[in-house]
C-alpha cells in the first residue's frame, strides 16, 4: 500500500497565533515540533495498516518545516516548492492508494480557526462552482484527478466538518476549535495518539474515504483583499476581471483550474 501525506501547520494541536507558524519567530520551533509529531503519528498509523511506501509533502509556507531526523526510515519527503500546479500535493500520482492530510485549517473567512485562510492572506475567498473552497477542497480534487481517494484529515473542527461533507467516509480528527482569536485544543500528546489511531482505522480493512464530486466543468472565482492583486492576476489567459477585487476563470479540466491558481495567486 502506497500512501501520500500532505502536512500543514495551522491545524496542528495548540497553534493559535500566526507567529507560531512563522519560521522567523522564536515560538515557531515548538510548533514545528508538534507539526512533525503529528505527521510521524500519521506515518505510524499508515505503517500499522500495511503501508509499504509513504511520501510526505511538507506543505506549509517555505515547505521546509518538518524535522527530518524524526521521520521514520520508510518515509520519503518532498520539501520546497517545485512550481508545479499541484502545489501542496506535488509528488502525488496515480500509483498511490490514498491521500492523507495533517495539520489542515479551514477556509478563508471561516471562524473555526484564528489562522483560517486559503493559500494566502491576500485572498478573501475562493469559490468553485459557487461554493467556498478551502485548501483541502483544492487538494482533494487534485487527488481525485489521479484517482486517489482522500482517506484521513486532522485539523480544526470546522475543517474536519467541511472535509466530511466534501468526502463522505473520510476519517477525521478535530485537534482544535477556534473562538475569535483564541482556540481550544486537545494536548499535543492526545493529538498524536488520535491521529495514529485514526489513520490506522482509515486504511485498515479497506480504505475509507473517497473522492469529492466531480463537475462537468468548473468556474473559479477569486476574491482578493486588494484590487491591485486582482489587476495583476487579470492578465492570465482566459481570466475575466468581473469586479474591482474579483477574477473569474472557467475550464473543463480541473488541472486548468489548478494551473490558473498557480499563476494568478502563487
Q: Is 251 left (phi over 0), alpha (psi -120 to 50) or beta?
A: beta
What is the layout of strands, in order, in the sheet containing 123-128?
131-132, 123-128, 218-224, 246-251, 240-243
The pLDDT tens digits of the residues spanning 138-155 come to 999 999 999 999 999 999
- To the question of whether residue 10 is assigned a binding role by annotation, the answer is yes
Specify the pTM. Answer: 0.98
The pLDDT tens digits of the residues spanning 69-87 come to 999 999 999 999 999 999 9
The pLDDT tens digits of the residues spanning 167-210 come to 999 999 999 999 999 999 999 999 999 999 999 999 998 999 99
Nearby residues of 10 by Cβ (< 8 Å), 6 or more positions away: 21, 60, 103, 104, 105, 113, 115, 116, 117, 155, 156
Which residue in the list 32, 47, 117, 221 is annotated as catalytic?
117
- To the question of whether residue 8 is assigned a binding role by annotation, the answer is yes
- To the question of whether residue 135 is assigned a binding role by annotation, the answer is yes
Mean pLDDT within 41-51: 98
- To the question of whether residue 60 is assigned a binding role by annotation, the answer is yes
Q: What angle do CA 266, 63, 36 make, to 5 degrees?
A: 145
239 beta partners: none
Residue 214's pLDDT band, with cuts at 50, 70 and 90, is confident
Decide if 117 is catalytic.
Answer: yes
Q: Where in the chain is the domain with CATH 3.40.50.10780?
A: 2-123+134-203
Q: What is the CATH architecture of 2-123+134-203?
A: 3-Layer(aba) Sandwich (3.40)
Distance of CA 207 to the CA centre of its chain: 20
- To the question of whether residue 84 is assigned a binding role by annotation, the answer is no
Q: What are phi and psi of 14, to 5 degrees?
A: 95, -25
Nearby residues of 29 by Cβ (< 8 Å), 6 or more positions away: none
The pLDDT tens digits of the residues spanning 238-263 come to 999 999 999 999 999 999 999 999 99
- The bridge status of strand 150-156 relative to strand 98-104 is parallel
Amino acid at each position: 500500500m502506497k500512501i501520500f501525506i500532505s502536512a500543514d501547520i495551522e491545524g496542528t494541536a495548540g497553534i493559535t497565533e500566526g507567529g507560531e507558524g512563522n519560521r522567523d519567530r522564536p515560538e515557531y520551533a515548538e510548533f514545528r515540533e508538534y507539526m512533525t509529531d503529528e505527521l510521524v503519528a500519521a506515518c505510524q498509523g499508515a505503517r500499522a495498516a500495511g503501508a509499504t511506501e509513504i511520501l510526505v509533502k511538507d506543505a506549509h509556507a517555505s515547505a521546509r518545516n518538518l524535522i527530518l531526523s524524526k521521520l521514520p526510515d520508510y518515509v520519503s519527503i518532498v520539501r520546497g516548492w517545485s512550481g508545479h500546479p499541484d502545489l501542496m500535493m506535488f509528488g502525488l500520482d496515480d500509483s498511490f492508494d490514498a491521500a492523507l492530510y495533517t495539520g489542515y485549517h479551514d477556509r478563508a473567512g471561516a471562524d473555526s480557526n484564528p489562522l483560517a485562510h486559503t493559500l494566502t492572506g491576500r485572498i478573501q475567498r475562493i469559490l468553485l462552482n459557487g461554493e467556498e473552497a478551502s485548501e483541502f477542497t483544492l487538494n482533494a480534487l487534485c487527488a481525485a484527478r489521479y484517482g486517489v481517494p482522500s482517506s484521513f484529515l486532522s485539523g480544526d473542527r470546522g475543517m474536519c466538518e467541511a472535509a466530511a461533507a466534501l468526502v463522505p467516509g473520510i476519517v477525521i480528527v478535530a485537534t482544535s476549535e477556534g473562538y475569535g482569536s483564541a482556540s481550544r485544543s486537545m494536548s499535543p500528546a492526545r493529538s498524536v495518539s488520535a491521529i495514529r489511531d485514526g489513520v490506522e482505522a482509515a486504511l485498515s480493512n479497506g480504505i475509507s474515504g473517497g473522492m469529492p464530486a466531480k463537475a462537468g466543468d468548473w468556474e473559479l472565482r477569486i476574491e482578493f483583499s486588494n484590487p491591485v492583486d486582482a489587476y495583476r492576476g487579470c492578465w492570465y489567459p482566459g481570466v475575466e476581471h468581473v469586479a474591482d477585487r474579483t477574477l473569474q476563470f472557467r475550464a473543463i479540466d480541473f488541472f486548468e483550474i489548478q494551473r490558473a491558481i498557480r499563476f494568478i495567486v502563487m
